[in-house]
Amino acid sequence: MSLKTIFVTGSSGLIGSEAVEHFDRQGHQVHGIDNNMRAVYFGDQGDTTWNLERLRRCTKNFTHHSLDIRDRVALETLFRSRPFDLIVHYAAQPSHDKARDIPILDFEVNAIGAVNLLEAMRLHCPKAIFVFLSTSKVYGDSPNELPLKELETRWDYAYPEDHNGINENCRIDRTLHSLFGASKASADLMAQEYGRYFGMKVGIFRGGCLTGPAHSGVELHGFLSYLVKVAISGGSYTVFGYKAKQVRDNIHSSDVVRAIEEFASNPRAGEVYNLGGGRENSISMLEAIAKVEEMTGKKMNWQYVDQNRIGDHICYISDLTKFKSHYPNWKITIGLDEIFRQIMADQRLRNVAPH
């Protein structure tokens, strides 16, 4: 990409901070919005101040704005002050369990916050590119309708035609989403509409498990980060339901940002993509626990509760076929072992402890 002014929401979070670093390294002017609301949702363990300080130290062209994406007036002032070429929207209330306690705040941040940004772009820089990070939870629990087979350590799809996982044709309505899934689905549909109805260059990415060392992992969000945190500190971890064989596909934050960069270099209007680690980066809870035990050389202290989380996926693997066919330069470059290694190394350095 030629040099641009890039706007990143959620810039102190996992994916936002990766994007800030990435685009700053390339010489773009990067503006980030983050008001550290992760600490409001999850308490001290979700505090992202350490990551903002890290960004301030390691970047050259990064300007931080401590703004709330619900604050339309502040957004309006910011968008009036300079034209943005690329807007990447990552700020969110990101936990489906947490949304139950704060339904209005969840909707205001996830749904209305997204519309505030889309509308600010339409009014002030309609030719810009907008990327929205949606979630696999927009499919609700419909992925659980696929026939499954039980293997020794994981669930897997029973039919060969489902081997690659869930594609974008999976239905998003008449299914149990959790309030978080519904607020993100609202934003996902509005983002599609700004693409299709207004012809704006808007891409929607439905994330599987996005992960990496910059996650301020907490029990309710950031499963690998939190699992490693517990394993290192000797705390205890609880697995909910599905015989601990539920499967997630994990993608490193840097592969997420590279996907967004590919989209930005050749954008489409209102296109939807699933984005996760795919089958090669999929792992079950039992397998993840075994892996951290192997890496730490210690047995993990974990317990099993038979009741699964409401609306939780049993086996979710993102089918990456559509994105790879539109953007053949992109592929997963960071495998699961390296993801675990990086998270562990970073957490040892930060000396983190769970609640």
Q: Return residues touching ligand NAD (CB under 6 A).
A: 10, 12-16, 33-38, 48, 68-70, 90-92, 94, 109, 113, 133, 135, 207, 209-210, 215, 222
Nearer of residues 98 and 152 to ligand NAD, judged by Cβ: 98
Q: At its nearest, how many Å lie between ligand NAD and the CB of residue 2?
A: 26
**Distance, CA of 324 to CA of 331 (rounded, Å):** 7
Nearer of residues 207 and 270 to ligand NAD, judged by Cβ: 207
Q: At its nearest, how many Å lie between ligand NAD and the CB of residue 21?
A: 13
Instruction: Please state, as a whole number, how many other Cβ atoms lie within 10 Å of the Cβ of residue 35.
Output: 18
Return the residue nearest ligand NAD (CB atom).
13
Q: What does the block give as tokens for 324?
A: 């790879």
Nearer of residues 29 and 110 to ligand NAD, judged by Cβ: 110
- Crossing angle, helix 285-296 and helix 336-350, to 10 degrees? 60
Q: At its nearest, how many Å lie between ligand NAD and the CB of residue 109?
A: 4
Q: At its nearest, how many Å lie between ligand NAD and the CB of residue 107?
A: 12
CA 242 to each of CA 137, 166, 230, 314: distance values in angstroms, whole numbers, following the listed order: 17, 19, 21, 7
CA 309 to each of CA 32, 92, 248, 314: distance values in angstroms, whole numbers, following the listed order: 33, 20, 14, 10
Q: At its nearest, how many Å lie between ligand NAD and the CB of residue 144?
A: 17
Nearer of residues 161 and 195 to ligand NAD, judged by Cβ: 195
Contact 223, 248 (CB under 8 A): yes
Under the phi-then-psi rule, with left for phi > 0, alpha for psi from -120 to 50, and beta for the rest, what region is 320? alpha
**Distance, CA of 16 to CA of 302 (rounded, Å):** 31
Nearer of residues 199 and 316 to ligand NAD, judged by Cβ: 316
**Which one, of 309, 170, 150, lies nearest residue 238 by Cα?**
309
CA 41 to each of CA 35, 76, 179: distance values in angstroms, whole numbers, following the listed order: 12, 25, 15
Contact 14, 214 (CB under 8 A): yes
Nearer of residues 90 and 155 to ligand NAD, judged by Cβ: 90
Q: At its nearest, how many Å lie between ligand NAD and the CB of residue 184?
A: 6
Q: At its nearest, how many Å lie between ligand NAD and the CB of residue 185?
A: 12
- Rounded-to-10 torsion of CA 341, 50, 96, 192: -90
Nearer of residues 72 and 324 to ligand NAD, judged by Cβ: 72
